[in-house]
Amino acid sequence: MNENSTNTELLIQYLDGELQGEDFETLNKNLANDQSLREEFENLKLAKEAMRSYGLKIKVGAIHGDMMRELKGNKEPRAKVIKMIIQYGIRVAVVLIMLVGISALYQYLTTSPEKLFSENYRPYIIHTMRGVPGSSVLSEKYKMGNMDSVIMEFKSLRSPQPEDYILAGIAFLEDKQPAKAIETFQTLIQENTNSKTDYFEDDAEYYLAMSYLSNQEPEKGLPFFEKIQADSQNPYNSKVSEWFLLKLKSLHVKN
């Protein structure tokens, strides 16, 4: 059994309240740290809710019950029994296809830039790069979570360093000023282009894309997200799944 199927079984047990002990604790930790696992969990939860809402679980159970009763009382030759099993299998498959369709429709109808942003945004964690100077004052204010002070300090800097732009951009984003965040991240990217460097480029592109989401411009963020998802070495690759991109693209279709 591969890891994906094992995770799926554990998630189902978790949803059904059957997971206990060490497995329960481990899965809780993994859900907190693994974006892909969280998305699978949300999809399974959504599927379960959809099944409950539309009575599909009852219908599948009824089909299975009918099949078992008929098989127990069936004295027909083996070939007919196999045919009956196939017929019931097809009926169950149709019901499950309906379930997937309902789940996909629900996702389509409820997806919005705000929802995608809130579900996927994670605060920036300060890291260092060799040979790249930073602003210790800005860093300390950021670590304390004082975003207004980060913005004020940034505006007073005559020569911001690369990470200053990142910290200020995040501060603008968390202060509900996505347009200013976009401007700040774009400035860093442009300065990297002009100087032929790539200081904090991955960070700038990811949070620029997130800023576009927050600013109701998902179509502008899509190329950056696609670039990140296509590069397995990008530090933000795990945060941009195929499912995330699918929901992002559905916004364009709806508009």
Distance CA 194, CA 178 (A): 24
pTM of this prediction? 0.60
Rg (CA), the chain: 25
3-class state of residue 29 by DSSP: helix
Our count of domains for the chain comes to 3
Q: Is residue 54 part of a domain?
A: yes
Residues spanned by the domain of 205: 117-254
If asked whether residues 138 and 57 sit together in one domain, one would say no
CATH of the domain at 162: 1.25.40.10
Residues 235 and 131 in one domain: yes
Question: Are 182 and 227 in a shared domain?
Answer: yes
In the DSSP assignment, the letter for residue 50 is: H
Q: Of 114, 155, 118, nearest to 137 (Cα)?
A: 155
Looking at the chain, list the stretches that DSSP marks H as alpha helix, in order from N- to C-terminal side: 3-15, 21-33, 35-54, 56-73, 78-110, 113-120, 136-143, 147-156, 162-174, 178-195, 201-214, 218-230, 242-254
pLDDT digits (tens, 9 = 90+) for 83-108: 555 655 666 565 556 555 545 544 54
Residue 130 has pLDDT above 60, yes or no: no
Q: Is residue 172 part of a domain?
A: yes
Do residue 175 and residue 66 come from a single domain? Answer: no
Q: What is the pLDDT of residues 173-223, one digit of tens each?
A: 999 999 999 999 999 999 999 999 999 999 999 999 999 999 999 999 999
Q: Is 230 within 8 Å of 241 (Cβ atoms)?
A: no
Which residues, 6+ apart, have CB-to-CB distance to 229 below 8 Å? 237, 240, 241, 242, 244, 245
- For 7, 10, 203, 249, the CA distances from 2, given in Å and listed in that order, are 9, 13, 32, 30
CB neighbours of residue 128 within 10 Å: 9
Chosen domain end from 67, 95, 110: 110
Which amino acid makes up residue 169?
A: G
Name the DSSP letter for residue 160. -
Round to whole Å and give the CA distance between 155 and 231. Answer: 34
User: Which domain-ending residue is among 72, 92, 110?
Assistant: 110
**Residue 141 shares a structural domain with residue 228:** yes
Lowest-confidence pick of 9-18, 59-68, 129-138, 225-234: 59-68
Q: Verify that 213 and 162 share a domain, yes or no.
A: yes
Q: How far apart are CA 207 and CA 205, in angstroms?
A: 6
